[in-house]
C-alpha cells in the first residue's frame, strides 16, 4: 500500500532517531564494557556473576553463601533465575555480553511493544513509531536502566495491553487463542522477572484498559478471558513469586514503619520540571532524602509537556480519539497524584494494604504518568497529520504557550533571586534554567508550524524530541563512562585461599555493595532489596565471629583481621533454650550472647535432647551453594553449629535419616547430631520453592485447558 509522503518522511526520521538513541546504549557491548552506575555494579552484575557460576557448575540457584553469610537469593528475585531469557543469556554469553544484551533487549522490547500497541489502536505507522520512540527512551525507563528488572517488567506493559486488545477484537478463534496464551505468558514473564512493584503498576493499567475496552465494546467474554489469562500467568510465575513472598516475609520489610513505605515520594516542587527541566542544580528536588535523579526525574521531554495541551485545545475535534485521550489523561493524572506519595494525600491509603506497605518508591508511578502522556502525544501527532493531509490550517490556542510563559517566569525569578522556599544551593544558575525556555520554545514553535501546514515541522519535531530525550536520559547514563569488568575488580581483595573461602565484612565509606563478589569473595555483609531480618548486628564483633568472618575491608582498603572467628562447622556439647527478642533488636540479642560461652554452648530456639561432652570434631566435606556436608565424630549427641545463616528452608539428614534444623545463636544454622561418626548433609529446599514449582506446573495445565476452552468459544 502506498503511503502518504509525509508519513514516509515521519517513518524514516523516527527510525533514524531511534537508532541514534539506541546506539549509545549499545556502545558498551561493542567495546567490551558495561554501564556500572548505582545498582548495576553494586547489585545486578555481582549477583548475575553468581548466577552464571551456578549455571556452569550445576550448583543450586536458590541459595548463596556469598552474601549476608547465606541468603535466599532466588527469593530476592531480581536475578530472575527461571526466566527463559535469563537462562539463555547467562548460559550462552560471557558476563559482560549477557548484561549488555539484557539491558539492550529492554529498550528494543519497549519500542516494539509500544509500536504494536499503537498500531492495535489504529494509529498509522509513522505516529506509532514516534509514540514508541517517546515511550521506549522516556526519562523513567532510561534513567532507571540500572534497575534491570524494573525496566524489564515495565516494558511488558504495551505488549500486555496489545494482547488484551486482540481478545476484544479477534474474529477468528485461533487468533483469540493466541491472544489468550500471549496474555498468560506475558504475565508469567513479568512474575518470573521478580520485581513485584512493576508488576503491580502494569496490572493497574491493564485493569483500567480492560474496563475501558469493555465499556466500548459492551462485551463480557473478552474481559473474562483476559482475567482468566492473567490468573493463569500468575500461576505460571508461581515458581518465582511464592519464594519472593517467603523472602519478603523473612526480610526487614515487614518490620518497616509507614515512613519507609512513604520514602521516595515525589516532592511537589518537582512539578517545576515540566516547564523548567533544569531548574534545580541536581535536576530534582527533595527535602528529606538524597536527590536521586533516576527516582525524582519527572521530566522526559518537552513534547510530553506541550503535546497534552494540544489535545486540550483540539478536544472538540478529536472525534473517536476523544475517549482514548480522556482515558490516557486520567491515567496520567492519577499516576502523578500517586507519585507524590506522602505529599499527595492518597498514597498513604495504599500503605495499609498488606504487601503494598512492604514496597517503597511512590515516585515510580512516574512511569505510568509518562506512559499516559506518550499516548496523548501519539493522538496529538495523529491530529497534526490529519490536518496536514486535509490541507487544513488551525490557529494555535494561547494555552499551548503556557509552558513557555511559565518557563520564562521561572527563569526570571531565578535571575532576580526571587525564589522563596528554595535554598540558592538547590537551584541551577540562570543560564542552566534558560535551557528549558529554549527547548519549550522550539517544541511549541514546531507544533505551531505543523498546525499551519509546514511539511517539515513534524519530522523536525521528532528530531528535536530525540535530542531532548537523549540529553535528559541517555546522556545521563554516561555521567559515569562504561568500564570493563576487570577495572571494577581492581583494588578489591581476593580470597586468601580460593580452595577455602573465608568471609569478608565490607565497611568502607564509599558504598560498593556486593562488588567484591566479582573477585569470588564471600561476604558476611551484603546489599539487597529484601535484606534478611537479623537478630544480631552483622557489623558487631560477636556477629562477625559467629559468621566466620575473618577479614574486614575498611576505609584503608586493606584487609583487617577479625580475631576469634568461628570455624565453618563446630560441635557444641551444651545448649540453652532462649526466647529470642524481636528481629532487629540486636542490642538485646547480643546482651544475651555476651554471657554465654559460644565455643561450648549453643543458644537454640527449641528444646533439644540431652547432650553429652566433651566437644567432638566436625570436618566440612562439601561446601557448595545450598549444599553442605559435614563429617562429625562425637561421644554423644551434640549441636552441630555452622556459620551459614538460618532459614526454615534448610533440610538436614544424618546418613540419610532426617534431622531437625535449629536456629543457633539467633541467626545461624545448626542441628542436633547423634553420637558416633556420621555424615551430616544440609540441603536448601524451601517449601515456598516446592509449592511454587507445583503452582507453575498447574499453570501449564491450566494454560492448555484455557486455550482449548477459548478455541471452542464462539
pLDDT above 80 for 245: yes
pLDDT in tens, 585-616: 545 555 566 677 888 889 898 899 999 989 99
**Does pTM top 0.85 for this prediction?**
yes
Q: Give the pLDDT score at 593.
A: 64
Which H, E and C letters describe 304-343, residue by residue?
A: HHHHHHHHHHCHHHCCCHHHHHHHHHHHHHHHHHHHCHHH
| Helix or strand (DSSP H, E) at 242 | helix 238-249
Q: How far apart are CA 429 and CA 210, in angstroms?
A: 47
Grid cell digits, residue 271: 512539578
Band of residue 33 on the pLDDT scale cut at 50, 70, 90: very high
Dihedral angle sign, alpha carbons of residues 654, 250, 668, 71: positive
Q: Give the pLDDT score at 499.
A: 60
pLDDT in tens, 559-575: 888 999 999 999 999 99
Any idea which of 91-100, 242-251, 549-558 has the lowest mean pLDDT? Answer: 549-558
Dihedral angle sign, alpha carbons of residues 707, 708, 713, 714: positive
CB atoms within 10 A of CB 618: 22
How many angstroms separate the Cα of 582 from the Cα of each of 227, 252, 585? 40, 11, 6
The stretch 488-500 carries a mean pLDDT of 73
Any idea which of 141-150, 161-170, 200-209, 496-505 has the lowest mean pLDDT? Answer: 496-505
Check if the beta carbon of residue 34 is closer than 8 Å to that of residue 505. no
Q: How far apart are CA 708 and CA 495, in angstroms?
A: 56
Phi, psi of 302 (to 5 degrees): -65, -30
Residue with cell 548460559: 91
DSSP string computed for 20-86: HHHHHHHHHHHHT-B--TTHIIIIIHHHHHHHHHHHHHT--SS-BSSSTTSB-HHHH-TT-TT-HHH
457-469 and 430-451 helices, crossing angle to 10°: 150
Q: Give the pLDDT score at 584.
A: 47
Check if the beta carbon of residue 430 is closer than 8 Å to that of residue 415. yes
Q: Which tops the pLDDT comparison, 577 or 65?
A: 65
Amino acid at each position: 500500500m502506498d503511503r502518504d509522503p509525509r508519513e514516509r518522511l515521519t517513518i524514516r526520521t523516527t527510525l533514524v532517531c531511534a537508532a541514534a538513541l539506541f546506539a549509545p546504549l549499545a556502545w558498551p557491548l561493542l567495546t567490551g564494557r558495561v554501564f556500572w552506575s548505582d545498582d548495576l555494579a553494586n547489585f545486578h552484575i555481582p549477583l548475575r556473576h553468581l548466577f552464571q557460576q551456578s549455571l556452569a557448575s550445576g550448583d543450586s540457584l536458590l541459595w548463596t553463601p556469598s552474601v549476608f553469610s547465606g541468603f535466599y537469593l532466588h527469593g530476592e528475585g531480581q536475578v530472575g533465575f527461571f526466566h527463559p531469557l535469563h537462562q539463555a543469556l547467562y548460559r550462552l554469553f560471557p558476563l559482560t555480553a549477557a548484561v549488555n544484551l539484557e539491558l539492550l533487549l529492554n529498550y528494543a522490547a519497549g519500542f516494539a511493544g509500544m509500536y504494536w500497541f499503537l498500531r492495535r489502536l489504529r494509529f498509522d505507522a509513522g505516529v506509532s513509531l514516534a509514540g514508541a520512540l517517546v515511550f521506549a527512551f522516556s526519562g523513567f525507563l532510561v534513567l532507571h536502566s540500572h534497575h534491570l528488572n524494573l525496566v524489564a517488567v515495565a516494558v511488558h506493559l504495551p505488549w500486555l495491553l496489545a494482547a488484551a486488545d486482540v481478545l476484544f477484537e479477534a474474529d477468528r478463534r485461533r487468533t483469540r487463542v493466541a491472544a489468550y496464551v500471549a496474555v498468560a505468558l506475558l504475565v508469567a514473564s513479568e512474575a518470573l522477572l521478580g520485581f513485584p512493584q512493576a508488576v503491580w503498576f502494569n496490572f493497574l493499567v491493564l485493569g483500567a484498559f480492560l474496563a475501558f475496552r469493555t465499556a466500548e465494546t459492551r462485551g463480557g467474554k473478552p474481559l473474562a478471558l483476559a482475567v482468566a489469562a492473567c490468573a493463569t500467568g500468575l500461576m505460571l510465575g508461581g515458581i518465582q513469586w511464592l519464594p519472593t513472598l517467603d523472602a519478603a516475609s523473612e526480610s526487614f520489610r515487614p518490620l518497616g514503619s509507614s515512613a519507609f513505605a512513604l520514602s521516595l515520594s515525589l516532592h511537589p516542587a518537582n512539578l517545576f520540571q515540566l516547564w523548567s527541566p533544569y531548574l534545580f542544580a541536581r535536576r530534582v528536588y527533595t527535602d528529606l532524602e538524597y536527590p536521586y535523579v533516576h527516582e525524582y526525574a519527572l521530566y522526559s521531554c518537552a513534547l510530553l509537556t506541550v503535546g497534552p495541551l494540544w489535545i486540550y485545545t483540539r478536544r472538540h475535534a478529536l472525534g473517536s480519539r476523544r475517549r482514548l485521550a480522556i482515558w490516557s489523561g486520567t491515567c496520567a493524572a492519577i499516576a502523578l497524584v500517586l507519585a507524590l506519595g506522602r505529599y499527595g494525600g492518597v498514597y498513604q491509603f495504599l500503605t495499609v494494604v498488606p504487601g503494598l506497605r512492604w514496597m517503597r518508591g511512590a515516585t515510580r508511578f512516574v512511569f505510568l504518568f509518562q506512559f499516559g502522556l506518550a499516548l496523548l502525544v501519539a493522538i496529538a501527532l495523529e491530529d497534526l497529520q490529519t490536518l496536514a493531509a486535509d490541507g487544513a490550517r488551525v490557529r494555535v490556542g494561547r494555552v499551548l504557550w503556557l509552558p513557555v510563559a511559565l518557563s520564562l517566569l521561572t527563569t526570571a525569578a531565578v535571575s532576580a533571586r526571587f525564589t522563596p522556599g528554595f535554598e540558592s544551593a538547590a537551584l541551577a544558575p540562570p543560564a542552566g534554567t534558560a535551557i528549558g525556555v529554549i527547548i519549550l520554545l522550539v517544541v511549541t514553535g514546531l507544533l505551531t508550524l505543523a498546525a499551519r501546514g509546514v511539511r517539515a515541522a513534524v519530522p523536525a519535531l521528532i528530531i528535536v524530541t530525540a535530542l531532548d530525550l537523549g540529553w535528559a536520559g541517555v546522556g545521563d547514563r554516561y555521567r559515569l563512562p562504561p568500564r570493563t569488568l576487570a577495572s571494577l575488580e581492581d583494588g578489591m581483595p581476593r580470597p586468601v585461599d580460593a580452595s577455602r573461602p573465608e568471609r569478608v565484612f565490607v565497611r568502607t565509606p564509599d558504598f560498593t555493595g556486593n562488588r567484591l563478589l566479582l573477585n569470588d569473595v564471600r561476604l558476611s555483609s551484603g546489599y539487597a532489596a529484601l535484606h534478611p531480618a537479623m537478630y544480631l548486628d552483622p557489623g558487631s564483633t560477636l556477629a562477625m565471629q559467629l559468621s566466620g568472618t575473618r577479614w574486614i575491608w575498611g576505609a584503608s582498603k586493606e584487609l583487617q583481621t577479625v580475631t576469634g572467628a568461628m570455624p565453618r562447622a563446630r560441635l557444641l556439647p551444651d545448649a540453652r533454650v532462649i526466647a529470642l527478642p524481636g528481629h532487629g533488636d540486636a542490642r538485646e540479642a547480643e546482651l544475651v550472647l555476651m554471657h554465654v560461652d559460644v565455643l561450648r554452648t549453643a543458644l537454640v530456639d527449641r528444646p533439644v535432647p540431652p547432650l553429652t561432652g566433651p566437644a567432638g570434631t566436625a570436618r566440612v566435606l562439601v561446601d557448595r551453594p545450598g549444599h553442605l556436608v559435614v563429617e562429625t565424630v562425637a561421644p554423644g549427641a551434640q549441636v552441630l553449629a555452622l556459620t551459614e545463616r538460618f532459614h526454615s528452608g534448610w533440610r538436614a539428614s544424618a546418613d540419610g535419616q532426617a534431622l531437625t534444623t535449629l536456629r543457633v545463636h539467633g541467626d545461624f544454622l545448626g542441628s542436633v547430631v547423634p553420637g558416633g561418626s556420621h555424615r551430616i548433609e544440609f540441603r536448601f529446599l524451601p517449601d515456598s520453592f516446592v509449592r511454587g514449582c507445583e503452582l507453575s506446573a498447574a499453570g501449564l495445565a491450566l494454560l492448555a485447558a484455557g486455550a482449548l476452552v477459548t478455541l471452542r468459544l464462539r
